[in-house]
Amino acid sequence: MSQRIHGQGQFIDIFDFKPDKSKPGRTLETAKIGDVYMSRLVIDPGITTGNYFHKKTRKMFYAGGGEILAAFEHVKTKQRKEMKLEYAKQAIHVPPHVAIATKNIGYNQAILIFFSDRPIRDEEDTFPYHVL
């Protein structure tokens, strides 16, 4: 849902995030903005998220706060990488067929910000794959 606000000859659009609390220890909030999905994932301390891959969805993300360990594995080549994400320092592109998992390794909530061309939790394009 979005609303348009008129002011002094300019227009702004405000998009509401839709929260999804269906998985314990994390909240995913998503807004569709044109053809792009913007999502904010809030992760409680000690919680691992992800462990899946997409066949079609492309996404980019960065750490919006907290201490996060990220692991990636290409499901066909088995190429693997683990890294600690630094707050707003890197943006990571995750192409199709690369599995991802993230873990909040800190003592406070961690935040990931995603941009994708399809919904992150699209049931038709999300496949379980253990990474972390």
One pLDDT digit (tens) per residue for the chain, 132 residues? 555 555 555 678 888 898 999 999 999 999 999 899 999 999 999 999 999 999 999 999 999 999 999 999 999 999 999 999 989 889 999 999 999 999 999 999 999 999 999 999 899 999 999 999
Cα 80 from Cα 74, distance rounded (Å):
7
Terminal CA-CA length for the chain: 35
Question: Helix or strand or coil: residue 37?
Answer: strand
- C-alpha atoms less than 13 angstroms from C-alpha of 96 in its C-beta half-sphere: 6
> What is d(CA 14, CA 119) in angstroms, rounded to the nearest whole number?
19
Fold of 28-128: Jelly Rolls (2.60.120)
